[in-house]
Amino acid sequence: MSLGPCSQRYKLISSVYHNRSDSLERAVNNAGLQQKTIDHLVESIIPAPDKKDDILNIISNQNPAVGLGKYNLKSGELFFEALNSGLNIVIMDNYMDIVAKLLHIKGTDSSLFMNYKYILNSGEIFDFSTDAPDPAMLSSSAFSNILHIRKSAPSATIVFLNFPTNLYADPSKEAFRSSYWSNLTRLAKSFDLPRVYLLDCSPVHPVYATLQKQHFKTPYYAYYAGQITMLFGCMRFFRHKLLIDCPQS
């Protein structure tokens, strides 16, 4: 299972994307998007040319009963089903927490992630001014999700990656990332959780950059895989260690 961007797309049975940690936490607590809200949203949207399928895909992956956990998978399991299917490993990261803002759906108590440029009448549907992401709040939500996964899939190994932001020109993202990680590691150290590993990923060298700052060239994906493979190779030494830092090179 993966919860985050395509940097973790190995062999998957479930893949969560377009969900910030606080949104996923609400879904875990049965307070996620309701079907009637989704139906109203889909009926109200006027999509930009050729964007209807993209809109429906983004909404579906935030719908706990329909698509949460099936992002970009031809066959896959819903997030909550996958947790009970004997998972070996769950790979998570904080990319969405660092970069995404949620849009409040007018006339409801609900918010979701959406590229508003895909929707011609987005100003009629969404309130853009209410979301103010906080690194302490979002890292606490992420840790709550880790606790839920640990309880639901006790034999799975959980790896949480601190997503690299050095390619972004906006320095506030790096500051947000640092504050987020400080709080998450503090929370992790206060619990005795077996097989939970936090990896602070190295900056991306510009040679591995692409036109999209959240996507990298193949060698950096291999770096991710190598770090996790090394982790499993050393697991007998780190069985009770919660924090492992990747080398900052």
pTM, full prediction:
0.87
Looking at residue 122, its pLDDT comes to: 96
Question: What does residue 244 show for φ and ψ, rounded to 5 degrees?
Answer: -130, 125
22-46 average pLDDT score: 93
Cα–Cα distance, 141 to 23 (Å, whole number) = 9
The beta strands (E) that lie in 59-132 are given as 89-93, 103-105, 111-112, 126-127
Summarised one tens digit per residue, pLDDT across range 205-218 is: 999 999 999 899 99
Cβ-count burial of 86 within 10 angstroms (0-12 exposed, 13-18 middle, 19+ buried)?
exposed
CB of 92 closer than 8 Å to CB of 31 = no
In 3-state terms, what secondary structure has residue 103? Answer: strand
Report which of 100, 226, 80 is spatially closest to residue 161, judged by C-alpha positions.
226
Two tokens at 142? 């992420």
- Residue 105 in this model has a pLDDT that exceeds 70: yes
Q: Please list, residue by residue across 12-43, b when 16 or more beta carbons sit within 10 angstroms of its beta carbon and e when fewer do.
A: bbbbbbbbbbbbbbbbbeeebbeeebbebbee
Would you tell me how many other CB atoms lie within 10 Å of the CB of residue 94?
25
Range of the domain at 114: 2-245
How many degrees, rounded to 5, is the angle at CA 167 between CA 158 and CA 51?
A: 80
Counted domains in the chain: 1
- Residue 3 in this model has a pLDDT that exceeds 70: no
CB of 185 closer than 8 Å to CB of 117 = no
User: Under 8 Å CB-to-CB from 160, ≥6 apart: which residues?
Assistant: 92, 93, 94, 142, 146, 184, 196, 197, 198, 199
Summarised one tens digit per residue, pLDDT across range 109-151 is: 999 999 999 999 999 999 988 788 999 999 999 999 999 999 9
| Mean pLDDT, the chain, integer | 86
Cβ-count burial of 216 within 10 angstroms (0-12 exposed, 13-18 middle, 19+ buried)?
buried
CB of 41 closer than 8 Å to CB of 119 = no
77-106 average pLDDT score: 92
Sign of the dihedral through C-alpha 240, 155, 192, 78: positive
DSSP code string of 156-221: SEEEEEE---TT-S-HHHHHHHHHHHHHHHHHHHTS--TTEEEEEPPPPPGGGB-SSTT-B-HHHH
Range in 54-63, 135-144, 196-205 the model is least confident about:
196-205
